[in-house]
Amino acid sequence: MWGRAFEVEMDADALSYLDKRECELGGYHRQQTTFFPRGSPSKSLSVELYIALENNRLWLGEASLEEIATQIMTCRGPSGHNVEYVLCLASFMHRCVPEVKDEHLFKLEEIIWSRIGRQNLSLGAVNAGESGGAGGAGDEPDNGHGSFQFAARVSTNKLRCLNI
- Residues 100-112: what's their mean pLDDT? 95
In this structure, are residues 28 and 52 in contact, taking their beta carbons and an 8 Å threshold?
A: yes
- Amino acid in the structure at residue 157: N
Evaluate if pTM is beyond 0.85: no
Q: What pLDDT score was predicted for residue 102?
A: 93
- Residues 104-113: what's their mean pLDDT? 96
**Residues classed as catalytic:** 22
Highest mean pLDDT among 34-43, 85-94, 103-112, 140-149: 103-112
Q: What pLDDT score was predicted for residue 111?
A: 96
Q: Where are the domains of the chain?
A: 1-59, 63-164
Phi, psi (rounded to 5 degrees) for 64: -75, 165
